[in-house]
């Protein structure tokens, strides 16, 4: 049974977050956590917390099932644009340049892989 976690209004541009989301899409949860834990980009910390939250949501949905036996993986992850804070920066000759501070929304779903019998 799939479990979902959402992160809204994270103050990072969507492009930077999508680079990390593409890294962990389709991977096992343990491998994805290791990648995020040691990745140098700054959005890896909130994404790691989001993945842990999705695993915790999966535990609540599937009482009695063990995470180790479920073979959890990142089923879907997508990053959408969030709200944009608009600011002005002083520019030469009395003008003002517009600054757009971007944010994003991340939605992550984890699910258990079916066990293959061979």
pLDDT in tens, 40-94: 999 999 999 999 999 999 999 988 888 888 889 999 999 999 999 999 999 999 9
Q: pTM of the prediction?
A: 0.89
To the nearest 5 percent, what fractions of the chain are helix, strand and coil? 40, 40, 25
CB contact set of 3 (below 8 Å; sequence gap of 6+) = 54, 55, 57, 58, 60, 61, 109, 110, 111
Domain 3-112 indexed as CATH 3.40.50.620: no
Domain boundaries, the chain: 3-112
């Amino acid at each position: 049974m799939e479990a979902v976690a959402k992160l809204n209004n994270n103050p990072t541009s969507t492009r930077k977050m999508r680079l990390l989301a593409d890294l962990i899409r389709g991977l096992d949860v343990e491998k994805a956590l290791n990648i995020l834990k040691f990745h140098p980009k700054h959005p890896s910390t909130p994404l790691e917390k989001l993945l842990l939250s999705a695993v915790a949501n999966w535990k609540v949905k599937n009482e009695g099932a063990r995470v180790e036996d479920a073979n959890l993986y990142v089923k879907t992850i997508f990053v959408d644009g969030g709200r944009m804070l608009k600011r002005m920066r002083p520019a030469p000759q009395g003008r003002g340049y517009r600054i757009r501070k971007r944010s994003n929304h991340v939605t992550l779903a984890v699910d258990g892989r079916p066990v293959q019998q061979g």
